[in-house]
Amino acid sequence: MTRKIVIFGAGQHAAVVADAIAAQNRYDLLAFVDDSAPSHPQGFESIALFSSDALRSLLDKESDVYGVMGIGTNFLREAAVSQVENDFPNLKWATVIHPSAVCSSSAKVGKGSVVCMAASIGVRTNIGSHTIVNSGSNVDHDSTFGSFASCGPGVTTGGSCSVGARSFVGIGSTLVHGTVVGDDTVIGGHSLVLGSCESSSVYYGAPAKRVRKRAPNEPYL
């Protein structure tokens, strides 16, 4: 029996998640849930757009419903997960992996995480909860992405890298073997990271250099 799922959010990233769900063919997508969205994500107009109240009514009737975040910004996704878990304690979190992605059998991908099209997750790698590995990214062996972290498309890490909670690695960036990125840090797009990066900071360049401090709720750049 196909499981039922809702996506929280109705923006561009929600459409990426919806596409992965359709390709995965494990879930029946019931609705996007967003109290403020003016319309459905483009291309998914046939899927219902629920308010929180509509979801609450659904969950009064349906006990086996899963959810996943369609919110790309890390600190907003974390706040939304906390709110959803408070409002809908019986909702289960789905893990969505696009079928074109390659995940080692020894890798672990946490609840609520999304692995996008053509990404690869290496041997003994651990992806945390509600984390995003974007299209075409390659997270090599023995690496770790913390919960609520994310990377843009085309990111490459060497083996034994660590990306902290809520940190973001920008599009096309490369982390050499053994790199450690602290929590709440942003690596700018197309950066080459040759050494470890402090928490709560912004880095970019080739080689990447620390540019300034960063608060957890700041925009990426």
Instruction: Count CB neighbours of 55 within 10 A.
Output: 23
- Name the nearest CA neighbour of 49 among 60, 37, 59: 37
Task: Give the DSSP H or E segment for 163.
Answer: strand 162-163
Same domain for 102 and 90: no
CATH number of the domain residue 116 falls in: 2.160.10.10
CB 71 within 8 A of CB 166: no
* 119-159 pLDDT, tens digit each: 999 999 999 999 999 999 999 999 999 999 999 999 999 99
Q: What is the CATH number of the domain that holds 9?
A: 3.40.50.720
Structure tokens at 138: 């390659």
The one-letter amino acid code at 187 reads I
Total structural domains within the chain: 2
Asked if residue 218 belongs to a domain, the reply is no
Tens of pLDDT, residue by residue over 162-172, are 999 999 999 99
Place of tokens 């919110």: 71
Distance CA 95, CA 27 (A): 11
- Is 158 within 8 Å of 181 (Cβ atoms)? no
Higher-confidence position of 221 and 182: 182
> What are the Cα distances from residue 118, in Å, to 139, 163, 213?
12, 20, 33
Residues 115 and 84 in one domain: no
Amino acid present at 77: R
